[in-house]
């Protein structure tokens, strides 16, 4: 990655590091975003007793660490491996993947303009990163909020072709909510009642999907930009289906929403 930040990280920051030297009771790493050296004491590698530190880290390995202490005067940065939880590790890894994707988009722009990648990256990052922190955050703003890169501070020479690439490569985020509808009917026209209920539910929104699971159970799902909209559309579809079913006194309708991950 080309992403580099000036100065020092802050205490509590989660950072990507490359192991450069493993000693008996400590590990030296390079903090990638800041291009600075940090140290992980053996007590911060893993909970419990460690017999061989090399069972946990090796030179060249990429690790996710938490910044514990910083002494700018001495240039010391103390880090922890064991204090990073799984959620923080996944989030930092995803952040890195998204930024690598953003850099590939800028590399594509450099190819179009027939200019050195590093020069184009410097132009783009210096314009966008002071406000957004990461290129991928700025690019997501373009896609999600229909923002203009030129209005965000990037000069027109880069803004127009880069915006086209961003919209081509990055799609709006979608969330999915789903559940299971159970319908039991003893009416002579039961098949028609069920079909009518599901057709009406599906017609409430073009992202509604319904399919048969068996034994009177039907999976229903909806996609939207955020959970609030998804909840609204799912509730509307289920409500119309329920109203149609229970209009027949011999029919029973149940709905169970699946829990979010």
DSSP-derived secondary structure for 152-177? TT--HHHHHHHHHHHHHH-PPP-EEE
One domain, residues 72 and 118: no
Beta sheet of 251-257, edge-to-edge order = 209-214, 217-224, 175-185, 251-257
One domain, residues 107 and 138: yes
One domain, residues 159 and 97: yes
Would residue 135 count as lying in a domain?
Answer: yes
Would residue 7 count as lying in a domain?
Answer: no
Q: Which two tokens stand for residue 39?
A: 């140290």
Specify which residues 76 forms β-bridges with: 71
Packing angle of the helix pair 117-132, 86-113 (nearest 10 deg)? 130
* Domain assignment of residue 64, given as a range: 14-84
One domain, residues 164 and 222: no
Write the DSSP symbol of residue 83: T
Residue 227 is predicted with a pLDDT of 86
- CA 90-94-95 angle, to 5 degrees, is 115
| pTM > 0.85 | no
Q: Which two tokens stand for residue 2?
A: 């080309």
Specify which residues 17 forms β-bridges with: 31, 63
Of 146, 196, 195, 189, residue with least CA distance to 166: 146
Mean pLDDT of all residues in 106-114: 96
CATH of the domain at 198: 3.30.70.1130
Structural domain ending residue among the three candidates 62, 84, 106: 84
Per-residue pLDDT of 35-88, as tens digits, reads 999 999 999 999 989 999 999 999 999 999 999 999 999 999 999 999 999 999
Would residue 4 count as lying in a domain?
Answer: no
Q: Tokens 């590990």: give the residue.
A: 27
One domain, residues 103 and 121: yes
Structural domain ending residue among the three candidates 169, 195, 228: 169
With cut-offs at 50, 70 and 90, classify the pLDDT of residue 260: low
Structural domain ending residue among the three candidates 124, 148, 169: 169
Residue 54 is predicted with a pLDDT of 93
One domain, residues 206 and 143: no
Residue 225 is predicted with a pLDDT of 79
One domain, residues 160 and 195: no
Residues 6+ apart with CB under 8 A from 201: 181, 208, 210, 220, 237, 238, 240, 241
Mean pLDDT of all residues in 146-152: 91
How far is Cα 114 from Cα 11, in angstroms, rounded to an integer? 41
Specify which residues 179 forms β-bridges with: 220, 257
Burial per residue of 142-174, b for 16 or more beta-carbon CB atoms within 10 angstroms, e otherwise: bbeeeeebbebebeeebbeebbebbeeebeeee
Alpha-helix residue ranges (DSSP H) falling in 23-134: 86-113, 117-132
Residue 127 is predicted with a pLDDT of 94
One domain, residues 165 and 109: yes
Q: What's the chain's average pLDDT?
A: 93
One domain, residues 181 and 249: yes
One domain, residues 39 and 108: no
Structural contact between residues 156 and 123, judged by C-beta atoms closer than 8 angstroms? no
Of 146, 153, 106, residue with least CA distance to 126: 153
Structural contact between residues 67 and 9, judged by C-beta atoms closer than 8 angstroms? yes
In 3-state terms, what secondary structure has residue 45? coil
How far is Cα 205 from Cα 207, in angstroms, rounded to an integer? 5
- Is 17 exposed, middle or buried (CB count within 10 Å of its CB: 0-12, 13-18, 19+)? buried
């Amino acid at each position: 990655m080309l992403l580099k930040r000036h100065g020092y990280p802050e205490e509590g920051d989660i950072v990507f590091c490359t192991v450069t030297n493993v000693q008996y009771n400590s590990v030296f790493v390079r903090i990638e975003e800041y291009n600075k050296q940090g140290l992980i004491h053996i007590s911060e590698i893993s909970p419990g007793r460690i017999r061989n530190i090399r069972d946990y880290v090796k030179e060249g390995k990429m690790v996710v660490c938490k910044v514990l202490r910083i002494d700018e005067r001495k240039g010391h940065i103390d880090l922890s491996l064991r204090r990073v939880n799984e959620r923080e590790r996944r989030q930092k890894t995803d952040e890195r993947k998204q930024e690598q994707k953003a850099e590939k988009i800028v590399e594509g722009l450099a190819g179009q303009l027939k200019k050195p990648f590093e020069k184009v990256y410097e132009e783009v990052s210096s314009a966008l990163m002071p406000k957004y922190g990461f290129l991928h955050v700025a690019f997501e703003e373009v896609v999600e909020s229909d923002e203009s890169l030129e209005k965000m501070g990037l000069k027109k020479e880069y803004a127009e072709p880069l915006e086209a690439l961003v919209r081509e490569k990055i799609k709006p985020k979608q969330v999915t909510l789903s559940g299971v509808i159970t319908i039991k009917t003893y009416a002579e026209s039961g098949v028609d009642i069920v079909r009518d209920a599901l057709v009406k539910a599906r017609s409430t929104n073009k992202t509604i999907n319904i399919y048969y699971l068996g034994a009177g159970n039907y999976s229903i799902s909806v996609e939207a930009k955020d959970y609030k909209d998804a909840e609204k559309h799912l509730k509307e579809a289920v409500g119309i289906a329920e109203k149609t079913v229970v209009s027949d006194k011999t029919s029973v309708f149940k709905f169970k929403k699946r829990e979010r991950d």
